[in-house]
C-alpha cells in the first residue's frame, strides 16, 4: 500500500518513522523529547549523515508540523518530505548537497493529543487537550509561545479556539518544543507547517510594524514560489498582514530572546499549505489524493528555503 495515499493515526506515524530509521540507520535518528498532557510521546526525527553530526559547526534546519490538530496535510507533508530526503540522499544530487550542508530536525506531530482527538471526536479540533475548566479543554499552542504573549489576536477565554493559555508557555507540549529547540545548536532556519491558504508567512505576527529583515523575507518568498512553480501560488506576507496573532512559534524562533540566546537571528517562517483561501469549502479537509503533489512541491520549497538561508545569513 502507498503510505502517502492516506492520512494516518499517530501510532502509525510513529511506526512509519521507526521503519524509516530502521531502513536508513546512518541517516535517520529518532528521539523522544517530551510527553503530552495525555502522556503521548513527543518525537523528533533527525535526518542527515550521522558522521557529520559530531561537527560542532554543523548547521541545522528545524521543521515542525501539526501544532493545530485539524491541519492534517501539514503532518502528511512532513512525512512525505522526510521519506523523500532519506530516499534521495546519495541518489539525488540536490538532496545530497542539502543534507551534506544541513541536518534536518523534524517534529512531525507537535500536538499528538489534539491530533488523535480530531480522529476520534471532532475533525475540526484545533487546540491541545489539556483540561482547563470542567468540560472545557485545550490551549491554542500557537498562541502560547513566550514572545509578546497576549499581545493581540489571541483570547483569554478558555472556550475560544485561539485561547492563549493561563500564562506564556503554560503547555507541556510548548515547553518541550522550546527545550528541544534550545538544546539544538546552530539552527539557521525554521519552518512551522500549517494549513490552509497557500501563504508563506514571515515574522512578526504580533504587530504590523515590519521587521528590518523584511527585504530578505520577501526575496525568500519569491525564491520559494519559483521552486514550487506557478501552478500553486504561495503569497508571501508578514504574518500580521493576514491577521494579528501573538504567541506564535514563528515569532519566538525569530524573537529577541531567542536571538540573544543563540547569538543571532534565524530565518523563521510559517507555511500555510494547500488549498488556497478561495477553496474554503475544502479548507482543512484536503483529500488525501493531494498528499503526493503537495509533498513534491514542498520538497522543492524546502530546498529553496535552505539554499536561501545559507546564502543570506541574518545578522
Which parts of 94-147 are beta strand (E)?
Answer: 102-107, 131-133, 136-137
Which residue is it, cell 500564562?
A: 167
Helix (H, G, I), strand (E, B) or coil at 269: strand
Q: Which is nearer to Zn ion, 48 or 153 (CB)?
A: 153
Helix (H) / strand (E) containing 35: strand 28-35
Nearer to Zn ion, 75 or 146 (CB): 75
Closer to Zn ion by CB, 196 or 308: give it.
Answer: 196
CB of 26 to Zn ion, least distance (A): 34
Minimum distance of Zn ion from residue 245's CB (angstroms): 10
Peptide bond into 196 cis (omega under 30): yes
Residue 185, burial from CB neighbour count under 10 angstroms (0-12, 13-18, 19+): exposed
DSSP symbol at 174: H
d(CA 142, CA 63): 15
Q: Which is nearer to Zn ion, 60 or 70 (CB)?
A: 70
User: Under rule CB under 5 A, how many of the chain's residues touch Zn ion?
Assistant: 2
Catalytic site includes residue 237: no
In whole angstroms, the minimum distance from the beta carbon of 258 to Zn ion comes to 20
Nearest distance in Å: CB 114, Zn ion: 11
Q: Which of 71, 116, 171, 272 is catalytic?
A: 272
Stretch 47-76 residues interacting with Zn ion (CB under 5 A): 68
> What are the b/e assignments for 47-67, b being 16+ CB within 10 Å?
bbeeeeeeeeeebbbbbbbbb
Residue 265, interface with Zn ion (CB under 5 A)? Answer: no
Q: 167 to 206, contacts with Zn ion by CB under 5 A?
A: 194
Interaction site with Zn ion (CB under 5 A): 68, 194
- Which residues carry out catalysis? 272
Amino acid at each position: 500500500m502507498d503510505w502517502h495515499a492516506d492520512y494516518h493515526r499517530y501510532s502509525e506515524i510513529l511506526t512509519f518513522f521507526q521503519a524509516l530509521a530502521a531502513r536508513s540507520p546512518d541517516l535517520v535518528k529518532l528521539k523522544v523529547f517530551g510527553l503530552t498532557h495525555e502522556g503521548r510521546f513527543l518525537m523528533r526525527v533527525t535526518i542527515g549523515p550521522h558522521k557529520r553530526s559530531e561537527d560542532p559547526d554543523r548547521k541545522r534546519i528545524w521543521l515542525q508540523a501539526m501544532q493545530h490538530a485539524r491541519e492534517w496535510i501539514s503532518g502528511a507533508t512532513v512525512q512525505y518530505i522526510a521519506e523523500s530526503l532519506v530516499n534521495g540522499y546519495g541518489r539525488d544530487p540536490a538532496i545530497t548537497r542539502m543534507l551534506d550542508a544541513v541536518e534536518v530536525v523534524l517534529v512531525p506531530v507537535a500536538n499528538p493529543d489534539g491530533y488523535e482527538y480530531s480522529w476520534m471526536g471532532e475533525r475540526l479540533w484545533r487546540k491541545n487537550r489539556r483540561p482547563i475548566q470542567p468540560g472545557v479543554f485545550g490551549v491554542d499552542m500557537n498562541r502560547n509561545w513566550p514572545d509578546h504573549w497576549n499581545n493581540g489576536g489571541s483570547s483569554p477565554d478558555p472556550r475560544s479556539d485561539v485561547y492563549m493559555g493561563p500564562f506564556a508557555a503554560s503547555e507541556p507540549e510548548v515547553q518541550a518544543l522550546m527545550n528541544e529547540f534550545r538544546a539544538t545548536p546552530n539552527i539557521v532556519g525554521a519552518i512551522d507547517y500549517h494549513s490552509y491558504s497557500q501563504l508563506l508567512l514571515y515574522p512578526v505576527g504580533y504587530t504590523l510594524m515590519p521587521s528590518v529583515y523584511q527585504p530578505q523575507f520577501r526575496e525568500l518568498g519569491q525564491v520559494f514560489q519559483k521552486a514550487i512553480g506557478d501552478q500553486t501560488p504561495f503569497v508571501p506576507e508578514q504574518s500580521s498582514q493576514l491577521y494579528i496573532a501573538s504567541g506564535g512559534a514563528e515569532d519566538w524562533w525569530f524573537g529577541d530572546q531567542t536571538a540573544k540566546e543563540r547569538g543571532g537571528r534565524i530565518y523563521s517562517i510559517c507555511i500555510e499549505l494547500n488549498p488556497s483561501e478561495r477553496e474554503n469549502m475544502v479548507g482543512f479537509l484536503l483529500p488525501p489524493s493531494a498528499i503526493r503533489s503537495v509533498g513534491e512541491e514542498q520538497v522543492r520549497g524546502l530546498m529553496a528555503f535552505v539554499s536561501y538561508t545559507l546564502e543570506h545569513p541574518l545578522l
